[in-house]
Copies of this chain bind each other. A is one copy, B any other.
Amino acid sequence: MKLLLATRNAKKLVELRRILAASTDIELVGLNDVPPYPEAPETALTFAGNAVAKARDGARETGLPCVADDSGLAVDALNGMPGVFSARWSGRHGDDQANLDLLLGQMGDIAAPDRGAAFVCAAAVVFPDGEEQVVHGEVRGEILTAPRGEGGFGYDPIFLPEGFDLTAAEMTPEQKDAISHRGKAFRELAELLVSRQMS
């Protein structure tokens, strides 16, 4: 089975390929491997809403089963924000450093135990026959007061997963995948795809 991974985020694409490749023999293609199609903006107010919308677009436009995710950091003290706004928190889309700096500034007066947060992922698959599935993954942790580590992307350097002494940016890719929100969601998605292949 050939599967389209509908994301323009190069680092996320590498991560998703790695997670899915570890558990399936599905052939993955990216948006650069298919004819371009107009992509709708992410305007839903839930992770699942955005993930499904992107996966629907991809399946409809390419005729391939399409997987998409929407992920973000839900900070307790900010009522679950940045949430679906994680990638554009600073008002500019995809500026990881600006987003992270802004969040650190906003949390400047907030002390433990009010620095709790969760990375949340919704992953959707839409098949050309119209079948849709959405799965979720989450990892809890806390927001540090300064970045640590060079790996990962997004808010990884300021997120300390519960039960670990390493930030998500200090872990190896395999360590991160094993506990991450996207790791959890995409392993569940892979199981679902495998069982569909076999049925």
Q: A102 on the interface (CB 8 Å rule)?
A: yes
Q: Is B79's CB under 8 angstroms from A111's CB?
A: no
Q: Which listed residue (B43, B88, B90, B108) contacts A88, Cβ 8 A?
A: B108
Number of interface residues, chain A, beta carbon within 8 A: 26
Give the residues in chain B near A192, CB-CB below 8 Å.
Answer: none
> Which of B88, B89, B92 lies in contact with A109, CB distance below 8 A?
B88
**A85 on the B face (CB < 8 A):** yes
Cβ B41 vs Cβ A109 within 8 A: yes
Residues of B close to A104: CB separation below 8 A: 91
Q: Which of B83, B90, B105 is A92 in contact with, Cβ under 8 Å? A: B105
Q: Are B114 and A91 in contact (CB under 8 A)?
A: no
Docked-complex contact B102 and A43, CB < 8 angstroms: no
Is A80 interfacial (CB-CB < 8 Å)?
A: yes
* Chain A at the B interface: SS class: loop
8 Å CB interface, A61-110 against B: 77-81, 83, 85, 88-92, 101-102, 104-106, 108-110
Contact B42 A114 (CB under 8 A): no
A residues at B contact (CB < 8 Å): 41-43, 45, 77-81, 83, 85, 88-92, 101-102, 104-106, 108-111, 114
**4 nearest CB pairs, A to B:** A91-B105, A79-B79, A81-B81, A43-B109
CB-defined A-B contacts under 8 Å, sample of 23: A41-B109, A43-B109, A45-B77, A45-B114, A78-B79, A78-B81, A78-B85, A79-B79, A79-B80, A79-B83, A81-B81, A88-B105, A88-B106, A88-B108, A89-B106, A91-B101, A91-B102, A91-B104, A91-B105, A91-B106, A91-B108, A92-B105, A102-B102
